[in-house]
Amino acid sequence: MEVVEHHHNHMHKHFLQLIREHVSVRLSIPEGTKLRWAEHSSIGKYKGSSKFGDLEKWLTDLVILFEVMMYGGEDRDKEKVLSTLEFLDGEARKWYHRHVVNVHHAHLRWIFEEVIMGLYDQFVQSLTMQDACKEFLSALYNSATGIQGYYDILMDHAQNMVIYPDDYQIMEHFLNGIPDDIRKKVFDCGLSPEVNTIDDLVACAKAIKITKKTMAHYCKRTPMAAYLSPRAAPCCTTMATKPKKAMYTCCPRFESRLREPRRDDNNRRRAPRPTVEKALIRTVGVGEEHASATNHTNTHNNQHKTI
């Protein structure tokens, strides 16, 4: 019975500390500062889940919202109690109607801390002690969350247990849950639960995990041919074989199309333009004819003078 009472008080202190850190004193904002109010839909609604983590996450989001809305301080406690109804649903909302705002309720004046403690005692307290131990022992490693995520899950379940496990039990369960290859390398580094702390084991396992990711990245690197120009790329190159003299494949060139001859106004084809060689021949021919004609004229004139 003493163990149950100790666990009950421990959970209450945890929630009270969370509440008092955020809404015990009203937030002081400089004049002229405009705050961006969070949407109420982002908080979610507590429906009476028996999991301690669900209630804790919901309460964390709620007290942060109340802090930004300037609901801190004892004089704003009534607003916090009434606003809590907006974030409840299902069995939790029914409990609120029955015990907090009902005309025939036994407790005359509820404060915000008492509302949260009542939700915990009603939906979480009866099952959290047994579930926390089972979830701690059945926690599994997930490659998506990695080493740190697995360690955080173990610590969350350990904090909800009636009897908090000692450091050796946490380290032993942590080493049994991580992958075999990572655990082997942790031992190869000289670490053991008898000598080192849980922080040492977690840090070493995280470093080994990062090294594996880095090695996998460089083992699957794209060949260098993919970064070369597509007009001149090596036919075949691999990272494993010894580089040889690269062979290049040139892209084929496109032949220019023959231009159609131009047409005049009567849609008749014009004579093709002479090439450079033909133009030179024609120019030379015209020059020779002109020189021959000139010589012939000079000869005729000389004969006429003689006569």
- 8 A C-beta contact, residue 202 and residue 148: yes
**What residue ranges do the domains of the chain occupy?**
1-26+37-138, 151-225
Dist. CA 15–CA 55, nearest whole Å: 10
CA distances to 154, 160, 192 from 134, rounded to whole Å, are 11, 11, 25
Residue type at 174 in one-letter notation: F
Helix (H, G, I), strand (E, B) or coil at 46: strand
pLDDT at 69: 87
Q: What is the dihedral of CA 190, 196, 197, 199, to 10 degrees?
A: -30
pLDDT tens digits along 70-84: 889 889 999 999 999
Characterize the bridge pairing of strands 232-234 and 248-250: antiparallel
Low-confidence ranges of the chain (pLDDT < 70): 1-4, 33-39, 106, 125-129, 221-307
pLDDT at 158: 84
Dist. CA 278–CA 243, nearest whole Å: 54
Dist. CA 177–CA 180, nearest whole Å: 9
pLDDT at 220: 78
Dist. CA 16–CA 24, nearest whole Å: 10
For residue 9 the two structure tokens come to 């008080």
Dist. CA 22–CA 28, nearest whole Å: 12
pLDDT at 307: 44
